[in-house]
Every structure is written in structure tokens, then in C-alpha cells.
Amino acid sequence: MWLELEKALRDGTGLEQVLPQLQALSAFADDLDARIDADGVGGVRGALELHRRLADLLRGVSDADLARILAAIDHVAAALAVVQRDVERIRRLKAALGI
């Protein structure tokens, strides 16, 4: 918004020509702020603060940490697959024995 005003002043464009654009931009910014505020984020400022906090949090999680977590999940998934196979064998055995 301020860039448009500065450009108009620099180029000699009349303020009356730029004013409708500035008013539309201001109305859009106000509407956006109200919508974000209605979602409980605290408007644009709250969204920016939330972004900063999330970015800070994610910077603390290294790629090595993520790789270790994924490896642990793969290990647990493989163990659960073995358990699933064994339970299925027990179910088939029970069915074969009529139990």
C-alpha cells in the first residue's frame, strides 16, 4: 500500500488516481485480518507469530531425528506385521480344529 503511494508521489500521479486502489487494498487487508481473527488466530499478526513459533519449533527437529523416528516406525511396523501373520495363523488353526 505504501509502495503504491510512494510510486504515485514519485511519478507525479495524482493522489485521486491512486486513492481507490489504496482503499481497495486497505479493505482487503482489513477483511483478511478479520477472517483470520475469526478463526481464533488473532488476525494477521497472530498468524505471523504462529508461523514464527512453528518455524522455531521445526528448526529444533533435525533431519537425523526425523530419520531415526522413521526407522523406528519401520521397525514397529515390521514387528506388527509379524504379529499379524502369527494371529492369522492362530485363527486358521482354530478354524481347522473347529475351535
Q: What is the pLDDT of residues 66-97, one digit of tens each?
A: 999 999 999 999 999 999 999 999 999 999 99
Could you tell me which of 75, 57, 78, 56 has the C-alpha nearest to residue 67?
Answer: 75
Q: Which pTM was predicted?
A: 0.49
Q: What is the mean pLDDT of residues 49-55?
A: 94
pLDDT at 1: 56
Place of cell 492369522: 88
H or E, element range at 64? helix 63-97
- 20 with 45: CB under 8 angstroms? no
Query: pLDDT (tens digit, 9 = 90+) per residue, 28-48?
Result: 988 888 888 887 888 888 889
Q: What is the mean pLDDT of residues 16-20?
A: 75
Q: Is pLDDT of 14 > 80? A: no
The amino acid occupying position 23 is: Q
- 47 with 41: CB under 8 angstroms? yes
